[in-house]
């Protein structure tokens, strides 16, 4: 525990005119007042206010604030009174301690109190003297540093409150170092696994990069020194919470982050800032969209700095902040950096010219305009929370979301079921896209529909982990249901073709013999190709010995089913004059983007071809033209054959993949002529591979997109008519 003289020495380092007697008196008074009280860790309780005071000495605060830190728990937790503190230390310090006591009573851990009302009271409590808030920040920081001694059931609540209230407020006051430490301490408690994972990756990165940071520091220092600028260049890695938040916002992995390290150039004057910027941009290329000038246009909390990102030494992306030393002090300590000890000996510790303080005063003034806490939040637009948006349901429920959140995030924050069924949204009474970015104070109404399933594409749109996890879960369930629907039709057809009567009751009784827990599991396994339909038939009807040779051939006959892929793409065979037998048909309609359907890798298929579907275990369905030689590979697996047909809408033409081989004379312009024919015929070249068969001819394998068989035949005919073309053949892979 810090000794009395050690505390005085810490203050004297930055304030030679400190009132040593006042500090000694406060030290002794607080130590006696707390007496034998103990913290949860077993340490003397007095160690806590002493550490709070020590934190404030790092911020170079005045004597009154240090004394208030030593006394901040005396009225609340001991027999001390406000009158007694006023008598011994004066009314100014008494008012500070009283203000801290009010905040203590209003700690935002009450489950019953509304967050808006608590925030309003918190700001009112610091209206008279912002030093109250600075002591509260230090108090919260030390409590977070010793959080492991707090009972388990309270830790997460305190950490969440710190992340929601105190860290953003510290940032709004310009105290970025304090904010970052509060965020990291909260993150470690709330997401220990993620915190430790990022720490281990940072350590591995440090070992792999070796002297990279030092090398970049040297090169930057040399570059600005050559222009006669006296600068200090420092580099550091980002904190775990900052890294995690960026990974969450951008939905990227740790390995994809290119700005783990940041570098800072401190110079003497504003002119040097811009000179250093010119040096950096002249020497290394700028990364577009990553330049911000907060020197000419400071932030509302007085933050001033030039931000830029360049592709620097070793082709590394380097984030740079360029600022003066005075700007740096304000950037690190925020409103606490406005101490005017040299001017007035510390009697007025905080200047009223601070923009951050002015913002705080304006916020307090807005309280008079709002008749309710909710209206207060709406008036201020919650500037306090740069990284959060506060929105409301039509019934007034407050929903807190990260910046860039969408109505989809909002829906899942209300309830998972609401998110799963969401089909639209109204923002402030107006129909808006589900991908709209929400703003502070928005009232959001989610429109739902029964039977709706969230599209998988939503996963790349949402920013909250809850929404992302729910979408993945719903997508998996939908795909499973789709496979189960496909499997049921396959099993039903197999049983009917075996000459048996399909009965789900009999099938359910045989689930155990198929080593599955439920009938749906059986259907899904068949649909995914993990289980043969013949095995299911044998499990239900053990006397069945399998299809006879003539039945095997019949399995490749003409039935039909529809399946959707991409933009509701459907298949059927044109030219069939009679409807298919419903006993053997397999109608399939699934989520349009999830059913795994693809065309044969070599050759493809186009409307007009007779086609067949082949079910592959775990891979879905592949569509082959009936003339494809690749179908010979499946001769002995008739249960994998699915009869399909095209169902293409004439008013919505789509291109389909096909492959052709063109042999052309090896002369200048031959490729151009081939491409011209395909383009004039409205074909789309998707891939091209060329090889020389001889000195005279070139072989071109071309993947093209065509509308149908007639379209393809027209392209082939026009190509054959060209003098440079020797032959054109379609590939039937």
Q: What is the separation, in whole angstroms, between the first and last Cα of the chain?
A: 80
- Distance, CA of 502 to CA of 262 (rounded, Å): 67
> Contact at 8 Å (CB) between 397 and 444?
no
Residues 6+ apart with CB under 8 A from 252: 246
Collapse the DSSP code of 427 into the 3-class scheme (helix H, G, I; strand E, B; otherwise coil) and give the result: strand
HEC letters along 688-712: EEEEECCCCEEEEEEEEEECCHHHH
The reply to whether 76 belongs to the active site is: yes
Bridging pattern class, strands 306-311 and 725-730: unpaired
- Closest by CA position to 179, among listed 301, 33, 12, 265: 301
**DSSP code for 237:** E
Residue showing tokens 């983007």 = 593
Counting every residue, how long is the chain?
Answer: 733
Q: What is the largest CA-CA distance in the chain?
A: 109
Residues 6+ apart with CB under 8 A from 211: none
- Distance, CA of 304 to CA of 354 (rounded, Å): 13
- Distance, CA of 110 to CA of 118 (rounded, Å): 9
**DSSP code for 151:** -
Residue showing tokens 């009869």 = 643
Cβ neighbours of 290 (radius 10 Å)? 14
HEC letters along 317-359: EEEEEEEEHHHHHHHHHHHHHCCCHHHHCCCCCCCCCCHHHHH
> Contact at 8 Å (CB) between 723 and 732?
no
> Contact at 8 Å (CB) between 438 and 391?
yes
The reply to whether 319 belongs to the active site is: no
The HSE-up count of residue 125 (CA atoms within 13 Å, CB side) is 23
Cα distances (angstroms) measured from residue 530 to each of 511, 523, 546: 15, 10, 19
User: What would the two tokens of residue 390 be?
Assistant: 């506060």
- Closest by CA position to 642, among listed 495, 493, 478: 493
> Contact at 8 Å (CB) between 251 and 309?
no
User: What would the two tokens of residue 379 be?
Assistant: 């008036």
Query: Which neighbouring-strand residues pair with 641?
Result: 614
Q: Spell 229-249 as b/e; 16+ CB within 10 A means b.
A: bebebebeebbbbbbbbebee
Cα distances (angstroms) measured from residue 531 to each of 133, 536, 548: 66, 8, 20
**DSSP code for 371:** S
- Closest by CA position to 527, among listed 632, 437, 619: 619
Phi and psi angles of residue 233, each rounded to the nearest 5 degrees, phi first: -110, 125
Instruction: Name the strand (E) or helix (H) holding 422.
Output: strand 422-427
The HSE-up count of residue 715 (CA atoms within 13 Å, CB side) is 31
Q: What residue ranges in 92-239 does DSSP mark as E strands? A: 232-237
Annotated catalytic residue within 76, 329, 332, 637: 76
> Contact at 8 Å (CB) between 443 and 407?
no
Annotated catalytic residue within 9, 24, 43, 77: 77
User: What would the two tokens of residue 591 be?
Assistant: 């989520």
Instruction: Name the strand (E) or helix (H) holding 243.
Output: helix 240-250
Catalytic residues: 76-77
């Amino acid at each position: 525990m810090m000794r009395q003289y050690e505390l005085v020495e810490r203050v004297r380092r930055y304030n030679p005119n400190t009132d040593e007697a006042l500090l000694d008196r406060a030290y002794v008074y607080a130590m006696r007042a707390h007496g034998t009280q103990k913290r949860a860790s077993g340490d003397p309780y007095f160690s806590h206010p002493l550490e709070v005071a020590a934190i404030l000495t790092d911020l170079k605060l005045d004597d009154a604030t240090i004394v208030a830190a030593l006394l901040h728990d005396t009225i609340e937790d001991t027999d001390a009174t406000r009158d007694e503190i006023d008598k011994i230390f004066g009314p100014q310090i008494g008012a500070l301690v009283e203000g801290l006591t009010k905040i203590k009573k209003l700690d935002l851990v009450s489950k019953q109190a509304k967050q808006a009302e608590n925030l309003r009271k918190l700001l009112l409590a610091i209206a008279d003297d912002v030093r109250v808030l600075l002591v509260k920040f230090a108090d919260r920081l030390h409590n977070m540093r010793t959080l492991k001694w707090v009972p388990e059931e309270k830790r997460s609540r305190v950490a969440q409150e710190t992340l929601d209230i105190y860290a953003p407020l510290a940032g709004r006051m310009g105290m970025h170092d304090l904010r970052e430490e509060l965020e990291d301490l909260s993150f470690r408690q709330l997401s220990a696994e993620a915190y430790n994972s990022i720490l281990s990756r940072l350590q591995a990165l440090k070992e792999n990069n070796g002297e990279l940071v030092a090398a970049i520091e040297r090169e930057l220092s040399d570059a600005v020194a050559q222009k006669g600028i006296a600068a200090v260049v420092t580099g550091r890695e980002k904190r775990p919470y900052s890294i995690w938040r960026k990974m969450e916002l951008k939905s990227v992995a740790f390995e994809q982050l290119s700005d783990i390290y940041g570098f800072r150039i401190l110079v003497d004057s504003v002119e040097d800032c811009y000179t250093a910027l010119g040096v950096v941009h002249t020497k290394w290329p700028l990364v577009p969209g990553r330049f911000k000038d907060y020197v000419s246009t400071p932030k509302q909390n007085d933050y001033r700095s030039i931000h830029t990102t360049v592709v620097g030494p070793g082709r590394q992306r380097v984030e740079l902040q360029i600022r003066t030393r005075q700007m740096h002090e304000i950037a690190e300590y925020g409103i606490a950096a406005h101490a005017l000890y040299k001017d007035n000996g510390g009697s007025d510790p905080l200047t009223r010219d601070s923009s951050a303080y002015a913002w705080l005063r304006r916020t307090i003034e807005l309280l008079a305009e709002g008749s309710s806490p909710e209206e207060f939040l709406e008036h201020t637009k919650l500037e306090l929370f740069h990284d959060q948006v506060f929105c409301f349901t039509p019934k007034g429920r407050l929903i807190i979301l990260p910046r860039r959140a969408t109505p989809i995030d909002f829906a899942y924050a209300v309830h998972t079921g609401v998110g799963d069924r969401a089909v639209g949204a109204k923002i402030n009474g107006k129909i808006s896209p589900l991908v709209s970015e929400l703003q502070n104070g928005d009232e959001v109404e989610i429109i739902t529909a029964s039977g709706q399933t969230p599209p998988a594409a939503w996963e790349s749109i949402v920013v909250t982990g809850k929404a992302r996890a729910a979408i993945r879960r719903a997508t998996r369930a939908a795909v499973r249901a789709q496979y189960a629907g496909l499997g049921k039709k396959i099993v039903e057809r197999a049983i009917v073709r075996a000459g048996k009567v399909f009965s789900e009751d009999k099938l359910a009784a045989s689930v155990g013999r198929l080593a599955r827990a439920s009938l749906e599991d059986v259907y899904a396994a068949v649909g995914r190709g993990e289980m043969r339909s013949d095995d299911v038939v044998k499990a239900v009807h053990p006397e069945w010995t399998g299809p006879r040779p003539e039945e095997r051939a019949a399995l490749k006959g003409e039935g039909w089913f529809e399946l959707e892929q991409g933009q509701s793409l459907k298949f059927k065979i044109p030219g069939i004059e009679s409807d298919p037998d419903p006993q053997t048909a397999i109608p399939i309609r699934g989520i349009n983007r999830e059913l795994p359907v693809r065309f044969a890798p070599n050759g493809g298929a186009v409307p007009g071809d007779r086609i067949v579907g082949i079910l592959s275990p775990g891979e879905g369905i592949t569509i082959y033209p009936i003339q494809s030689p690749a179908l010979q590979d499946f001769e002995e697996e008739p249960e994998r054959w699915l009869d399909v047909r095209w169902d293409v809408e004439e008013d919505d033409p789509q291109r389909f993949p096909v492959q052709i081989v063109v042999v052309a004379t090896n002369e200048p312009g031959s490729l151009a002529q081939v491409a011209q024919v395909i383009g004039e015929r409205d074909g789309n070249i998707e891939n091209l591979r060329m090889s020389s068969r001889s000195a005279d001819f070139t072989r071109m394998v071309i993947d093209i997109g065509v509308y149908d068989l007639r379209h393809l035949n027209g392209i082939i005919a026009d190509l054959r008519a060209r003098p440079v073309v020797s032959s054109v053949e379609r590939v039937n892979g």
